[in-house]
């Protein structure tokens, strides 16, 4: 029982910290950009845009649907953790917290602002502008897939 409580606590702390990181740095970067700061090199540029859709601007202007999908996704992750807490490794819990924090960061902006603030643009490839929450989502999904594949020992 003590180990389960420790795992719930670990997930909660990781989630809270990562949500703080994404919201704090997004606010910091966007504030700087809105006050005239600019940055660009061969790899990336900082360009502020307001995204009313999801990744690649799909479902543009579907705020309510995206809020519902985000809440359902976070609830599903938490339900999975509750059901499997005794078998989930701390590494997997961290990446589930990162995934939830990325979803939660975008969810917060969607609710509070009506859009998601994107500002990182890759200059070496034609790719949509994204934010730190999007990085958290993508890195955690990749990590979770690798963990699953290594566990199955394909």
Give kind and range of the element (H or E) at residue 41: none
Q: Which positions are catalytic? A: 118, 134
Instruction: Scan for tokens 């979770």, then name that residue.
Output: 144
Is residue 140 classed exposed, middle or buried when 0-12, 13-18 and 19+ CB atoms within 10 A define those classes?
buried
Work out whether the CA dihedral 144, 71, 8, 87 comes out positive or negative. Answer: negative
Total residue count of the chain as it appears in this document: 154
Radius of gyration of the chain measured on its C-alpha atoms: 17
């Amino acid at each position: 029982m003590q180990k389960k409580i420790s795992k719930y606590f670990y997930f909660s702390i990781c989630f809270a910290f990562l949500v703080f990181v994404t919201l704090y740095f997004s606010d910091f970067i966007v504030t700087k950009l809105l006050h005239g700061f600019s940055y660009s090199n061969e790899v990336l540029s900082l360009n502020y845009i307001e995204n009313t859709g999801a990744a690649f601007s799909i479902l543009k202007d579907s705020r309510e649907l995206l809020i519902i999908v985000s809440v359902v996704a976070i609830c599903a992750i938490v339900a999975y953790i509750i059901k499997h807490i005794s078998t989930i490794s701390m590494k997997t819990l961290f990446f589930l917290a990162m995934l939830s924090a990325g979803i939660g960061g975008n969810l917060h902006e969607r609710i509070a602002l009506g859009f998601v603030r994107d500002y990182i643009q890759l200059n070496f490839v034609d790719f949509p502008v994204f934010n730190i929450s999007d990085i958290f989502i993508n890195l955690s999904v990749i990590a979770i897939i690798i963990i699953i594949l290594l566990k199955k020992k394909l």
